[in-house]
Structure 1
Amino acid sequence: MLVGCTQARSGVAPEAAEGSADAVTGASCPLLPEGFDYVRDVDPSIAVELRYATRANFTGEVIDGYESESAAVLRDDAAEALAAVQSSLAGQGLELLVFDAYRPTRAVQFFMDWAQTDDDATQAEYYPTFEKSQLFELGYIAERSKHSLGGTVDLTLIDSATGVPLDMGGEFDLFDLRSHYEAEGLDAAQFENRTRLREAMLAAGFEPYPQEWWHFSFPLPESAGARNFAIGPC
């Protein structure tokens, strides 16, 4: 599993600063704006695989603003709450695997631009029952994403011993009715796994999104605004 990177803390401007060495890649991470943390700085045990830094996502492209597969970023309070979730799962032999966290507004624009194209190469895998043009109106993609505020995270549960994700009855970013938390057709084990994740996140103050079993938002102050700084490189 991949993990996040550790940022250096100094008085150097974020645009110019370099962070300390990443535990996995040896690369350094940029300093973050005040109020944000790399998830690994808060809890290095949380696994991270940022899908939008790869082609393994619904666009089939690396998303603008994602320059690291491992450097998940959240606002301070949300990162601390996520660490509390990780701790609460230890007794169950489970851990978290993060697919997405803070998302630059440039990435949201990338999604909007993609939606205007005729490219449907990923439809069979990611939105098999809908047309691309429906994804915004159905709430699977947003023109203004809470991810850009820094308090929203997409994630699943993994077995602590094996690192294998639990069966949730559908994959991350499957834009389909099956991704709804209470979707029809789930077996008992799949629904139990979704419920384990949901209850652990609720207990730490995160709010679920009923249409996507993997999507949770931590309440942020009204002053929190959307941001556009890139994730990485590191």
Structure 2
Amino acid sequence: MLNDMISNCKLCLQIKNLRRSHIIPEFIYKPLYSSEHHKMIEIKEGLPGLLQKGYREELLCQDCENHLNVNFEHPSVEIWKTLTSQKASKTITVREVRDNQQNRALVFNGIDYSTFKLFLLSIIWRVSISRHSYFQKVNLGPHEEKIRQMLLSINPGKHYDYPCIINLLSESAFTPIYIPKESPRYEGHRSFRVLLTNVMIWYVISSHSEQADINGLAIKENGSLVATMLSPKKVALLRDAIDLAKNTDIPDYMFK
């Protein structure tokens, strides 16, 4: 096929025709597109710009693309919609809790642990294996291979194996953006943040973080997830992006 190339598939490692796969699943892009112009904003090298489509790259063969779609992506659509809307669905319940300082969090129950955790890991794995310059700061090193094996064998491990933590933006300020960025080490472990619309995924890249305090917020085997609420104005990552975009000639319809 014209859009294929022959090389080693990054997931099964076999030499096959490779498809131009989305690095970030396309259903996540939908709220990023302007209904009028079908574009979204990216922040690249400190500068905002308009992007027509999500990044694609020849990474996977058709069989492995189907493997990710059938086992992780398609079953995660409802879960993702529940997170972004912050409302319950037919199978997932949501309740709000507050601590003594009145910090808010949403507790989700009924999430398929294996499906959704591997879906989240598939995103950071694809970002890491990508050759695109936009993702060059994300390199999982030897953990790339471990996560590849988890994805291929549909093995999510324990909740403390590469724990995935979700933060949700508590208000809408500037949502059409995604930013992959390495965060400071947490208790000696590397971590990365990926912002997708109003969902910030925090990945702790360690297979020996069983005792880490942050595990209390990771998605659990029992299907529960505690998502802390963040104000965009209080997150430096978001403040910088908002300031950059507002000081650039980007149409008003891109802001809410």
TM-score (norm 2): 0.27
Structure with higher strand content: 2
Larger Rg computed on CA atoms: 2
